[in-house]
Amino acid sequence: MNDKTTIRRLPERAVEDRRVIDAILDEGFVCHVAYIVDGRPVVIPTLYARDGDRLLLHGSNSMGIARAVRRGSPLSVAVTHVDGLVVARSGFHSSANYRSVVVHGVGRILEGEDHAGALDKIIESVIPGRLADLRPSTRSEIDQTSVIELSLDEVSAKVRTGGPKDDPEDLDSEVWAGILPLHVVAGQPIASDDLTPNIAPPDYLVDYRR
Amino acid sequence: MNDKTTIRRLPERAVEDRRVIDAILDEGFVCHVAYIVDGRPVVIPTLYARDGDRLLLHGSNSMGIARAVRRGSPLSVAVTHVDGLVVARSGFHSSANYRSVVVHGVGRILEGEDHAGALDKIIESVIPGRLADLRPSTRSEIDQTSVIELSLDEVSAKVRTGGPKDDPEDLDSEVWAGILPLHVVAGQPIASDDLTPNIAPPDYLVDYRR
């Protein structure tokens, strides 16, 4: 809200800068993946991680993503952060502040060491610090899970920030206008009922932030 | 986490109950819409509202949803709430708690009074209480916006709740396990720089919750 002129001129903009795109991707861990089945689109949420110039999409073997990739369906993946509500003086200019990345491309199902390493990367991306505390995954566990790689070759972002962009004739309205910020926050870790006694939650959970 | 046996037996389940589905839809206001363009899937976020047995999807005229519907593309829409991280003793059982609804069908672009009324319903769904404070939308504003109706005939939900479902041989692990709850919270309303002085933010923003 500081640079009002800029914000008002460009409230919603396409972003090509890979640093901005990567920051949006790295802040999230749930994406929405779209693919085609029998000529119809299907969209589902799943876990993911960014690994350099590729996304790693988590797919249990019962899920349709890997099946769709095997059958040749291209993918579209969206990662969206909703940062607030834009409370304008008209319905028309009411909106939401958000940062969204969309990736298009043909996915590839990972195999072998790349597959096992990708699963670890997703775990570590969802909870940074967790991987070092876990036993290695077994071959059977790895085989029951798919990871689909999607290159970031075809990627774009859209970002809306700042306050409402009301029409001049609405500015003397007596109606409140501004933004309502929205945040995702973590609560206190809740121990599993079967936890070995006297184990404290690790710092990477107590201090968890995206 | 109270009914451990039930939770452990059914950590992730498909839900057909329309009351559960409606509650998930009513809690959100951003959905991900997938459609097909030139044989490829496209997924984008947009605002929506549930209105009885239909979803109302907000599409500015520059957006592809209305165009895709006009060209005959079916739609798939997902609404997802991430409720927490499932912190298991193995990577394999690490997961997320979530509630997700997916709707499939053929959209219909609303016209006339139904179109204008649907825009109002989306405004009121995103910020309950707001509509009464706004001037009516003009014909030009309405014409610059599309609303796509999607029936809830073909709708399903998936819900995962509760703690990690670790393998018996991992239960004596010295590693912490449980869940890390995640919530969306609203901050304090931030007034627009050009707000008429001495207008307080309305209660429906100060007390905003989803």
Q: Please provide the DSSP assignment of A89-147 as one string.
A: SSTTT-EEEEEEEEEEE--EE--HHHHHHHHHHHHHHHSTT-GGGSPPPPHHHHHTEEE
Q: What's B133's DSSP letter?
A: G
Q: How far is CA A25 from CA A56, A171, B90, in A?
A: 11, 36, 25
Question: Which tokens belong to A35?
Answer: 């693919």
Chain A residues touching residue B178 (CB < 8 angstroms): 189-192, 195, 201
8 Å CB contact of B34 and A42: yes
Which residues in chain A are closer than 8 Å to B123, comparing Cβ atoms?
91, 94
A contacts of B43 (beta carbons < 8 Å): 32-34, 41, 43, 76-78, 102
Q: How confident is the model at residue B16 (pLDDT cuts 50, 70, 90)?
A: confident
Q: Which of B30, B137, B185 sits opposite A92 (nearest CB)?
A: B137
The encoded tokens of residue A147 equal 């990871």
**Average pLDDT of the segment spanning A155-163:** 96
ipTM of the complex: 0.93
Q: How far is CA B121 from the centre of its chain?
A: 15
Chain A's closest residue to B145, CA to CA, is A92
Q: Which residues contact B185 (CB under 8 A, 6 or more apart)?
A: A182, A183, A184, A185
How far CA A31 is from CA of A16, A56, A142, B182, in Å, comes to: 19, 11, 21, 16
Mean pLDDT of chain A: 92
pLDDT at position A77 over 90: yes
* Beta-ladder partners of B179: A190, B86
Residues of chain B with C-beta less than 8 angstroms from the C-beta of A71: none
User: CA nearest B101: which of B20, B210, B209, B44?
Assistant: B20
Separation between Cα atoms, residue B176 and residue A188, nearest integer Å: 13
In B, minimum Cα distance to A100 occurs at B45
Q: What is the pLDDT at residue B61?
A: 63
**What's the average model confidence in pLDDT over B34-38?**
96
Looking at the structure, give the CATH architecture of the domain made up of residues B10-84+97-164.
Answer: Roll (2.30)
Tokens, residue A198: 């006297």
How many angstroms separate the Cα of B46 from the Cα of each of A18, A95, B43?
23, 10, 10
Identify the band that residue B6 occupies on the pLDDT scale cut at 50, 70 and 90.
Answer: very low
Cα A141 to the center of its chain, rounded Å: 25
**Buried (b) or exposed (e) across B18-49, using 16+ Cβ within 10 A?**
eeebbebbeebbbbbbbbbeeebbbbbbbbbb
B193: which chain A residues are within 8 Å (Cβ-Cβ)? 1, 4, 163
Q: Is the dihedral of CA A140, A146, A152, A153 positive or negative?
A: positive
pLDDT tens digits for range A58-75 = 987 666 999 999 999 999
CB A15, CB A161: distance < 8 Å:
no
User: What confidence tens digit (pLDDT) does each residue in A5-20 have?
Assistant: 333 444 678 888 999 9
**Residue numbers in B near A135 (CB within 8 A):** 89-90, 170, 173
Q: What is the pLDDT of residues B82-111, one digit of tens each?
A: 999 999 999 999 999 999 999 999 999 999
Minimal Cβ distance to B41: which of A76, A87, A138: A76
Q: Where in chain B are the domains?
A: 10-84+97-164
Place of tokens 């999409």: A57
Query: Which of B80, B89, B172 faces A45 most closely, judged by CB atoms?
Result: B80
Please name the member of A75, A131, A177 whose beta carbon is closest to the beta carbon of B41. A75
Predicted local confidence at residue B210, as pLDDT = 86
Residue A13 pLDDT? 86
Residue of A nearest to B28 (CA): A82
Higher pLDDT pick, A210 / B114: B114
Asked if B41 and A29 come within 8 Å (Cβ–Cβ), the reply is: no
**CATH number among 2.30.110.10, 3.90.950.10, 1.10.1040.50, 2.60.120.10, domain A4-186+194-206:** 2.30.110.10
pLDDT score, position A33: 97
pLDDT in tens, A97-149: 999 999 999 999 999 999 999 999 999 999 999 999 999 999 999 999 999 99
Residues B43-53, mean pLDDT to the nearest whole number: 97
Instruction: Tally C-beta pairs within 8 A across A and B.
Output: 283
The pair phi, psi for residue B109, each rounded to 5°, is: -85, 125
**What's the pTM?**
0.93
For the stretch B54-79, pLDDT in tens is 999 998 766 699 999 999 999 999 99
DSSP state at residue B206: H
Contact A196 B126 (CB under 8 A): no
Tell me what percent of the residues of chain A surpass a pLDDT of 90.
89
In tens, the pLDDT along A173-203 reads 999 999 999 999 999 999 999 999 999 999 9
User: Among A96, A119, A174, whose Cβ lies nearest the Cβ of B91?
Assistant: A119
Closest chain A C-alpha to B91 CA, distance in angstroms = 6
Determine the pLDDT at residue B3.
36
